[in-house]
Amino acid sequence: MTPQSVESLIAEIEAEDRVDLGGLALDEHEARSLMANHFCELDRKLAEHGLSIEARLEVMAAIAAHTMVENMALHLGRLRSAAGREDFHRWMRRHGIG
């Protein structure tokens, strides 16, 4: 695992599920690079502490799942805003919730 390989995989994922960085001071490439480097550094530190590849994968999966829950909560909060009420209901129907 290298920052470049992780960044490339992030770019492939984002090709189908764009990330809205809003008015942030960094672009998509910088954001991918920052997170790819962070994950690789985390993996390196976990390996240094003796975690097996399976244990490191499990930690990474837990981080990804936590981030997805947080992202969903933020997304739903934005959709629930007055300007996004119709989008919220459309999103719920699309996911079989409403």
Cβ(40)–Cβ(1) below 8 Å: yes
**Which of 84, 75, 76, 90 shows the shortest CA–CA distance to 18?**
75
CA angle 78, 79, 85 (to 5 degrees): 135
> Tokens standing for 37?
């480097």
Q: What does the pLDDT read at residue 76?
A: 81
pLDDT digits (tens, 9 = 90+) for 7-61: 888 888 878 777 777 777 878 888 888 888 998 999 999 999 999 999 999 999 9
Q: Report the amino acid identity of residue 37.
A: N
